[in-house]
């Protein structure tokens, strides 16, 4: 995009005014991987910083097929009916062939997308680990500056690997479905014990009884997991996103949890810890980029990568050799 300083100032002003097209352009800029866009993206984020921090940041995770998008559609519309403005950042898998995003979630939130107080932005994961995109945090800042009071991050849906979203959100909702016993077993030492609220979705029709059983199993599992830490297990709620049953209770539960965390100081501690880890990741990336800017380091890295791939050298030995070039 290569915006000059004046263009960045104008864009920041439009974002703060809540102009939807400006929000979309701003996120495109901060997500850009082009070196010539980095200075403009940093200048934009600097200008928006005083206007950030006021939203409730909600993460929604869970295995594929759990109905996350349908749930967010219903939850977002309920929040709007309560007077909120809602932004959704839906992380999509990037194509392994050309790196593009599948961008399917926007089509699954059709009713929410028609609301004037909503903004939905599908973003590619771009190979980033942890179920979020490499610039999801920056996109959250743009949405906050634009005045969205509820910013929802829908993770990629890899379940146990979605830990990175914890650094970005104030409350994490894990969405499961009746009969998802294998998913629970896979996640029991992962994101399940880190979630703030667990939802058993699709609790309707013939699946209602199974949903009740799933809730009982989850409550027992969570109770065991929390015994070691001494904390209280997260609540397990039954919801039918399709029939929009239990959605209001979920919204109220999220708002209540975040309000209590804010009052106790836990919210600011959580956000501060996330910002520290953000700094650590930025530092790691910057140091790696600076180190590999030297042609000799890049060439040696290529040789060492081949040796490691062939099983002839341990990664730690390869790193030690690279550091000798520093």
State pLDDT tens for residues 77-119: 999 999 999 999 998 765 434 444 444 555 678 899 999 999 9
3-class DSSP state for residue 83?
A: coil
Inter-residue contact 161 to 41 (CB < 8 Å): no
The answer to whether 150 and 86 have CB atoms below 8 angstroms apart is yes
pLDDT at 318: 94
Q: What is the mean pLDDT of residues 173-190?
A: 68
Nearest 5 degrees, angle CA 207-CA 171-CA 279?
135
CATH (residue range 1-51)? 1.20.5
Write down the CATH number for the domain with range 52-263.
3.40.50.300
HSE-up of residue 140 (Cα within 13 Å, Cβ side): 25
What are φ and ψ of residue 99, in 5° steps?
80, -5
pLDDT tens digits, one per residue of 41-71? 999 999 999 999 999 999 999 888 899 999 9
Angle (deg, nearest 10), helices 20-31 and 5-16: 130
Q: CA-to-CA distance for 95 and 167, rounded, in angstroms? A: 25
The pLDDT value recorded for residue 74 is 97
Please check whether residue 67 is in contact with residue 202, taking contact to mean a CB–CB distance below 8 angstroms.
Answer: yes
Each residue's pLDDT tens digit, 127-156 = 555 557 889 999 999 999 999 999 999 987
Separation CA 51–CA 147 (nearest Å): 8
Report the alpha-carbon distance of residue 150 to residue 216 in Å, rounded: 30
Q: How many whole angstroms separate alpha carbon 212 and alpha carbon 235?
A: 14
CA distances (Å), origin 316, targets 308, 311, 319, 321, 323 = 10, 13, 5, 9, 11
Instruction: Say what the pTM is.
Output: 0.87
Is 61 in a helix, a strand, or coil?
strand
Question: What are the counts of helices (DSSP H) followed by strands (DSSP E) for the chain?
Answer: 13, 7
Domain spans of the chain? 1-51, 52-263, 277-323
């Amino acid at each position: 995009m290569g915006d000059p300083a004046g263009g960045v100032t104008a864009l920041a002003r439009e974002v703060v005014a809540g102009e939807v097209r400006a929000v979309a352009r701003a996120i495109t800029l901060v997500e850009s991987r082009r070196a010539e866009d980095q200075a403009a993206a940093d200048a934009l984020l600097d200008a928006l910083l005083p206007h950030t921090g006021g939203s409730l940041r909600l993460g929604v995770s869970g295995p594929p097929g759990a109905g996350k998008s349908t749930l967010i559609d219903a939850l977002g519309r309920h929040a709007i009916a309560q007077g909120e403005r809602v932004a959704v950042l839906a992380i999509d898998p990037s194509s392994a062939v050309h790196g593009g995003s599948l961008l399917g979630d926007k089509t699954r939130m059709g009713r929410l997308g028609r609301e004037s107080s909503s903004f939905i932005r599908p973003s590619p994961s771009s190979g980033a680990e942890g179920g979020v995109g490499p610039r999801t945090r920056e996109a959250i800042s743009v949405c906050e500056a634009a005045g969205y009071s509820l910013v929802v991050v829908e993770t990629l849906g890899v379940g146990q690997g979605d830990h990175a979203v914890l650094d970005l959100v104030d409350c994490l909702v894990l969405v499961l479905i009746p009969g998802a016993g294998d998913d629970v077993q896979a996640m029991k030492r992962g994101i399940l014990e880190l979630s703030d609220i667990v939802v058993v979705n699709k609790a309707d029709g013939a699946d209602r009884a199974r949903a009740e059983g799933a809730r009982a199993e989850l409550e027992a599992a969570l109770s065991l997991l929390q015994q070691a830490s001494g904390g209280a297990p997260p609540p397990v709620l039954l919801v039918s996103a399709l029939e929009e049953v239990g959605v209001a209770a979920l919204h109220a539960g999220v708002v209540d949890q975040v309000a209590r965390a804010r009052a106790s100081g836990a919210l600011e501690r959580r956000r501060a810890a996330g910002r520290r880890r953000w700094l650590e990741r930025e530092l790691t990336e910057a140091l790696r980029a600076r180190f590999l800017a030297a042609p000799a380091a890049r060439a040696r890295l290529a040789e060492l990568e081949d040796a490691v791939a062939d099983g002839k050298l341990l990664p730690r030995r390869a790193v030690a050799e690279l550091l000798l070039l520093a």
